[in-house]
């Protein structure tokens, strides 16, 4: 058995998916890592009403430490993490005090604590850093023992190494079969095409292109949109699009199992970089849904186009899938995808890779 590690992680939230697309990813990886014998402490700020919109109670496999935003709360949480951990991880996108946390966690290396930066939006981070060499985080990258990334591929790895990263290891999204699996369909989520995703500035244009466009082309078909923020859009949705608002993670299986086709749309930067399958891909395919994705480089590493996933270049291609892929074929494609993920892309496999990275020589504290 590997050496037992005490791991502290600062992230957006482990217990709430409210405006927090990383929740499924964190839960899957960290639960599997805890299952390998490691002790997990997760530090999250009391911010964005996430504590009022919890999806889960504190899990038995991690100690959840909620702290107040601001210098005093951050200092207390950092001190607690340093006293109780061998490795401290700062995730991107905590949402408050990110720059302060990035700076202070990087400093811990000098006090004998190993450090890691876990970038859950590496394409956007790298584009920001390369556009602004004076960004304070540029100087911090080489100070971390290792950079972990949610997506990856050659551009992400080379991008971080060009900034002086000692190592960059992609830990891709995956399937937690205990959480995401087939269930009986529910009429309230029935649709010809369903999409689940919060309204975000760097994805909104692609949602109009790949989801609202096909809905407008096919007024007789039923389209379903889940996720926060869409009701505030200045552009009204087509009449055949039903808006659900925030869908808790406990409802994702029913959502994915009730529509004939389920769409995933990457954010702009992730589509440009490729190799960045979102959690929604694994949630939907793990539930046996017939998944339609916008085209991005690297999809074939996870699912075989045409056989295990349908890949669309534009909105017209999405509309054609809605027209032509019947329920029987959709079920076959979804089942092939589910079997592929169970064989090759579970969080247990990702945790094994993460464990090796964290135990590696590069994490020996100076």
366 residues of the chain, pLDDT tens digit each: 458 899 999 999 999 999 998 999 999 999 999 999 999 999 999 999 999 999 999 999 999 999 999 999 999 999 999 999 999 999 999 999 999 999 999 999 877 789 999 999 999 999 999 999 999 999 999 999 999 999 888 999 999 999 999 999 999 999 999 999 999 999 999 999 999 999 988 899 999 999 999 999 999 999 999 999 998 776 789 999 999 999 998 999 999 999 999 999 998 888 888 898 989 999 999 999 999 999 999 999 999 999 999 999 999 999 999 999 999 999 999 999 999 999 999 999 999 999 999 987 445 554
pLDDT at 366: 43
Give CA–CA dist 124/133, Å, rounded: 15
How many other C-beta atoms lie within 10 A of the C-beta of residue 205? 10
Give CA–CA dist 283/24, Å, rounded: 9
CB 150 within 8 A of CB 221: no
Instruction: State whether the Cα torsion 46-47-52-55 is positive or negative.
Output: negative
How many other C-beta atoms lie within 10 A of the C-beta of residue 238? 16
Give CA–CA dist 18/23, Å, rounded: 9
Give CA–CA dist 280/262, Å, rounded: 10
* Beta strand ranges found along the chain (DSSP E): 6-10, 39-45, 63-67, 87-91, 114-119, 146-149, 168-170, 191-196, 223-226, 241-245, 259-264, 291-294, 310-312
* Cα distances (Å, whole numbers) of residue 296 to 138, 211, 283, 312, 344: 27, 17, 18, 9, 20
Give CA–CA dist 233/247, Å, rounded: 18
Q: Indicate the burial class of 136 (C-beta count within 10 angstroms; 0-12, 13-18, 19 or more).
A: exposed
| Domains defined for the chain, CATH in brackets | 6-173+347-363 (3.40.50.2000), 187-344 (3.40.50.2000)
Give CA–CA dist 16/248, Å, rounded: 9
How many other C-beta atoms lie within 10 A of the C-beta of residue 170? 20
pLDDT at 2: 59
Bridge partners, residue 106, by sequence: none
CA atoms within 13 A on the CB side of 85: 29
pTM of the full structure: 0.88
């Amino acid at each position: 058995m590997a050496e037992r590690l005490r791991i502290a992680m600062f992230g957006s939230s482990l217990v709430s998916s409210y405006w927090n697309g990383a929740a499924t990813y964190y839960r899957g990886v960290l639960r599997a890592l805890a299952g390998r014998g490691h002790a997990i402490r997760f530090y999250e700020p009391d911010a964005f009403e996430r504590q009022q919109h919890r999806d889960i109670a504190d899990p038995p496999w991690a100690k959840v430490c909620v702290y107040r935003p601001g210098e005093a709360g951050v200092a207390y949480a950092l001190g607690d993490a340093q006293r109780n951990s061998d490795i401290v991880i700062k995730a991107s996108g905590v949402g408050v005090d990110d720059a302060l946390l990035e700076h202070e966690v990087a400093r811990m290396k000098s006090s004998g604590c190993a450090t890691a930066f876990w970038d859950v939006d590496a394409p956007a981070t790298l584009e920001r850093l390369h556009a602004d060499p004076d960004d304070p985080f540029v100087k911090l990258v080489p100070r971390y023992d290792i950079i972990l990334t949610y997506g990856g591929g050659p551009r992400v790895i080379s991008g971080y190494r060009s900034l002086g990263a000692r190592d960059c290891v992609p830990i891709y999204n995956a399937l937690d079969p205990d959480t995401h699996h087939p269930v009986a369909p529910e009429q309230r989520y029935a649709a010809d095409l369903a999409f689940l995703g919060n309204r975000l500035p760097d994805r909104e244009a692609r949602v109009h292109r790949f989801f609202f466009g096909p809905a407008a082309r096919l007024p007789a078909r039923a389209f379903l949109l889940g996720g926060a923020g869409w009701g505030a859009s200045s552009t009204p949705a087509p009449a055949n699009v039903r808006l659900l608002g925030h869908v808790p993670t406990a409802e994702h299986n029913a959502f994915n199992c009730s529509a004939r086709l389920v769409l995933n749309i990457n954010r702009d930067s992730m589509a440009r970089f490729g190799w960045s399958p979102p959690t929604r891909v694994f949630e939907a395919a793990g539930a046996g849904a017939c998944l339609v994705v916008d085209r991005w480089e690297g999809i074939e590493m996870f699912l075989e186009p045409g056989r295990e996933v349908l890949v669309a270049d534009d909105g017209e291609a999405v509309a054609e899938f809605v027209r032509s892929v019947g329920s029987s074929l959709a079920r076959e494609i979804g089942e092939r995808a589910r079997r592929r993920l169970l064989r090759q892309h579970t969080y247990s496999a990702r945790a094994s890779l993460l464990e090796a990275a964290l135990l590696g020589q590069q994490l020996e504290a100076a």
